[in-house]
Amino acid sequence: MSELRKAIDDELLRRARAMRHEPAPAEKKLSRLLRDRQLNGFKFRRQHRIAGYIADTYCHEARLIVELDGDSHGDRAAYDERRTKRIKRQGHHVIRFVNDDVFWHTDAVLQAVYDECLLLCGRSEIQKQALSPTLSLRERG
């Protein structure tokens, strides 16, 4: 590995670690709902490095990246599109939500993520199966 490539990888790792310690409120909430295989057994990683970028949330089994877009993403549409294309070329799938969806439409976000995981893993359960809630509404926050 070249020294420049190693330096870039080290910097990306440093940034990913820093972002794990100071997540945005929507990322923190989604992470709390997805951790410990709570989404019917799918494992998710936070701030995972992929294709030279840091994914907000990643499911290795489904090769699914869940991105949450805050207010700053409005100005970054072209960047996000290039990033998504590069990530998809490496065989990953990207699903995006705005931060407000995590707060106001939590169940719909979780259902959409679950349906994508099932579809991408080729599981037959996608036949209109509703997500089995693993947390009560009070526990979800």
pLDDT in tens, 39-92: 999 999 998 888 888 899 999 999 999 999 887 655 678 888 898 999 999 999
**What confidence score (pLDDT) does residue 23 get?**
73
Q: Name the residue type at position 53.
A: Y
Give the predicted TM-score (pTM) of the model: 0.75
Q: What is the CA radius of gyration of the chain?
A: 16
| Residues 6+ away with beta carbon under 8 Å from 43 | 37, 59, 60, 61
Architecture of domain 3-140: 3-Layer(aba) Sandwich (3.40)
Please list the alpha-helical segments (H only) found in 2-136. Answer: 3-21, 25-34, 77-89, 99-104, 106-121
